[in-house]
Amino acid sequence: MNAATRLAITLLLFPGSLSAQGFLEQFSYEGLRFSGIGFEFGVVASDRLTAEPTGALRIDYGFIGPKVRVLIGASYFKGDFNADEVSQFETRLRGVVQDPTGDFDIDVGTITWADLEAALDLQYVLQPDGPVNPYFGFGLGVHIRDGDGVAIDETFVEDALDTIAAGLTLSLGVEIAVARPFYFTTDIRGEVTSELRTVAVRGGFMYRIPRGGGE
């Protein structure tokens, strides 16, 4: 059986495996290197906390595949539990208080939750070399959270709010070449964790290291 015949049989029997192999061969770690750094600022809103300012550091770590960029980042925000969350907490406390006169009052005050995230993002960039580059992405994050408040300090409630959680992120954004190698970036990021759902809108600037024949 000659080589042409063997190739024809392989294509007929295993077309999917060959196409998948060819697709995977386009991805390589060789393109991963420190390629830029940026800062972003914006607002984050959630299902349990008040809307608050947020800041982020983003490191561009190059392309792992065709149009697929890797970014490493960190972000931070600190918000108060919203009125509904606090009211529910106070209602539960009233339910366990024994007071025949019923003239007691419960005010737990402000309870805050700080969130520090370390994230790994994969961005699919539609036009990597264009002056305007839309992208969408998927990411994984690790959140270190710290609860605080006069009513909960040094109690098991504070301990319960001091957590480490994993999150899944979807993002949609665009970067615009202002004066290369400087880019203006803006995006919207939605994230889900076991305890909190957030949406952040941020904008900022990215500096990318100029490379021969590239940006």
pLDDT of residue 90: 82
* Contacts (Cβ under 8 Å, ≥6 apart) of 27: 64, 65, 68
Q: What are phi and psi of 6, to 5 degrees?
A: -60, -40
The tens digit of pLDDT for each residue in 44-61 reads 999 999 999 999 999 999
Structure tokens at 5: 């015949």
pLDDT of residue 118: 97
Reference 161, options 143, 136, 134; nearest CA is 143
The tens digit of pLDDT for each residue in 99-135 reads 777 667 777 889 999 999 999 999 999 988 788 999 9
The mean pLDDT value of the chain amounts to: 86
Distance CA(152)–CA(129), nearest Å, equals 52
The total of other beta-carbon atoms located within 10 Å of residue 78's CB is 17
* Topology of domain 28-208, CATH: Porin (2.40.160)
Radius of gyration of the chain from its Cα atoms, rounded to whole angstroms: 25
Overall average pLDDT of the 176-204 stretch:
94
Sign of CA dihedral 115, 121, 125, 129: positive
Burial of 85 (0-12, 13-18, 19+ CB in 10 A): middle
The tens digit of pLDDT for each residue in 138-163 reads 999 999 999 999 888 988 989 999 99
What string of H, E and C letters represents the secondary structure of 29-98?
HHHEEEEEEEEEEEEEEECCECCEEEEEEEEEEEEEECCEEEEEEEEEEEEEECHHHHHHHHHHHHHHCC
3-class secondary-structure state, position 161: helix
- Bridge partners (DSSP) of residue 60 are 36, 71
pTM over cut 0.85: no
